[in-house]
Amino acid sequence: MALVTYIEHDGREYKVDVPSGETVMQGALNNMVEGIAAECGGGLACATCHCYVDDAWMDRVGEAEGVEKEMLEAASAEVKPSSRLSCQLTMTDELDGLVVRLPESQY
């Protein structure tokens, strides 16, 4: 398990243990984190699980590439270099302590 801190746009924080191999998106859904809608269920077919990876974690997580980067163009919130789709962030022991911030809205 790895700890993920989800920070809502209003500053509300959720600290969640997410099993290795599970996505940041699934960890949010399983723990009722409100800021991730995940309409496509992780199928890389929408951008409603958009998040911003905290700067301190960007070296380990990396920027979006390929289809994910293209899909982020459909995000309703501002896309930044730290933008990722949480369905594409698979947890590992090395990501224990990951912090992601959620946009004001996914729509």
CATH classification of the domain holding 95: 3.10.20.30
**pLDDT band at residue 99 under the 50/70/90 scheme:** very high
Q: Is residue 62 part of a domain?
A: yes
Q: Is residue 51 part of a domain?
A: yes
The pLDDT, as a whole number, for residue 88 is 98
Q: Is residue 37 part of a domain?
A: yes
Phi first, then psi: give them for residue 23, nearest 5 degrees: -85, 160
The pLDDT, as a whole number, for residue 22 is 98
What would the pLDDT profile of 73-89 be if each residue is shown by its tens digit? 999 999 999 999 999 99
Q: Is residue 7 part of a domain?
A: yes
pTM of the full structure: 0.96
Distance CA 76, CA 90 (A): 23
Q: Is residue 74 part of a domain?
A: yes
In the structure encoding, which two tokens stand for residue 77, read together? 């919130």
For residue 65, the enclosing domain spans: 2-101
The pLDDT, as a whole number, for residue 104 is 96
Q: Is residue 106 part of a domain?
A: no
Domain count, the chain: 1
What would the pLDDT profile of 9-65 be if each residue is shown by its tens digit? 999 999 999 999 999 999 999 999 999 999 999 999 999 999 999 999 999 999 999
Q: Is residue 107 part of a domain?
A: no
